[in-house]
Amino acid sequence: MHISLNSSNIIFGWLLNFMPATAVGIIEMVLIALAYLTLFAVLGLYLVLMERKVAAWFQLRIGPNRVGFQGLLQTMADALKLVSKELTGTVKADKFLYNLAPYFVIISSLMALAVFPFTKNLQAFDINIGIFFLIAISSVGVIGILLGGWSSNNKFALIGAMRSGVQTISYELSIGLSLLTMILITGSLQLSEIIEVQKNGWLILQGHIPAIIAFMIYMIAGTAETNRAPFDMAEAESELGAGFHTEYSGMKFAYFFLAEFINMFIIAAIATTVFFGGWLSPFGITESIPWLGIFWFLAKTFVLVFLMMWFRWTFPRLRIDQLLTLEWKYLLPINLVNIVIMAVIVWLNLTIQY
């Protein structure tokens, strides 16, 4: 664990006077896990509300405005409804895999959150292969989607799951290559070190035009990776009902629904960390006020989340053949050329130094 806040050090130091170090370590891990679970739930509820408000704004509607002040408690009411709903399923479903699938999706999202440095001293797991870990763990979530679609024993759910598998595997290439383009500048996969490199300027500015191209490709591929419109072929309502989670209800449906929004936050948080300096302030005052880093990290991330929501309410849904053509015939070749150009820039030491 990398959390080294003064308050937590004081608390756990005090506990060492009464119990062995092993017990204190277990308590520390449990408390950190509970903190991240709380963050997970709050983020999910807030992002659902944000989606509804943004959709209403784009469509000149009011949006949620009844439950709580300006509708702020609407998603809380929806969460209570989902908790109390009966868990239904099909008789012919594979019960074990059907019940297991949502947990693959939710756990992979929760594990990804653990490696983000919200500030210099607020990071649960500062692993030296952070970017590689995020790419790897994001690939696990699609297993839950495939299991859920197949085990439901529903042809629409199966078609949605197959589409999601094809889509995720395809666009992971562009996500990985666009991030690798930026790693050429930093020379490290560790998220904390990537942010340290940006103290003299964000990577999107240091890397010239190839960095801007990498960011654009990353945002397009990241939107597709999360099955968000206009790339939501896995749950195309007009064709497949609800797609891969057609047969799910109650909290099992909520897990899939929540994971989509958390994954959107994760995609935006990776972009914030790699392209826009993470928790670093653009005015250079974060070091003197450490907790201000959380504000800057979340502010940058939510701007990118808003951009992804903007995509949804602007562009029409693509056909599955158009979706795959975009990746294999356009984004992937552009990415390969872009990474070569970035390698030449780094080799010639032409990155911008502030």
Both 143 and 22 in one domain: the answer is no
- pLDDT of res. 285: 62
Amino acid, single-letter form, for residue 75 = T
Query: Of 62, 84, 106, at which residue does a domain stop?
Result: 84
CB contact at 8 A, 158 and 242: no
- pLDDT of res. 7: 46
- pLDDT of res. 3: 47
**Which runs of consecutive H residues, i.e. helices, occur in 66-119?**
74-84, 95-113
Both 197 and 251 in one domain: the answer is yes
Helices 208-225 and 250-275: crossing angle, nearest 10°? Answer: 180
Full pLDDT tens readout for the chain, 354 residues: 444 444 455 666 666 677 777 777 788 788 888 888 888 888 989 999 999 999 999 999 988 988 888 888 998 898 888 888 888 777 888 889 999 999 999 999 989 998 999 988 888 888 889 999 999 998 888 899 899 989 998 888 888 888 888 888 899 999 999 999 999 999 899 999 999 999 888 999 888 899 999 999 999 999 998 888 788 876 666 666 677 888 888 888 888 888 889 999 999 999 999 999 999 888 766 555 667 888 999 999 999 999 999 998 898 888 888 989 999 999 999 999 999 999 999 888 876 654
Within-domain flag for 352: no
**Residue 242 DSSP label:** T
Within-domain flag for 353: no
From residue 199, alpha-carbon distances to 323, 350, 352 in Å are 37, 18, 13
Other Cβ atoms less than 10 A from the Cβ of 158: the count is 20
Radius of gyration of the chain (CA): 21
Both 253 and 242 in one domain: the answer is yes
- Can you say how many angstroms the Cα of residue 109 is from the centroid of all Cα atoms in its chain? 7
Other Cβ atoms less than 10 A from the Cβ of 268: the count is 22
- Burial label for 126, CB within 10 Å (0-12, 13-18, 19+), is middle
Both 62 and 98 in one domain: the answer is no
Both 134 and 203 in one domain: the answer is yes
What is the domain count for the chain?
Answer: 2
Both 318 and 199 in one domain: the answer is yes
Q: Which domain holds residue 55?
A: 1-84
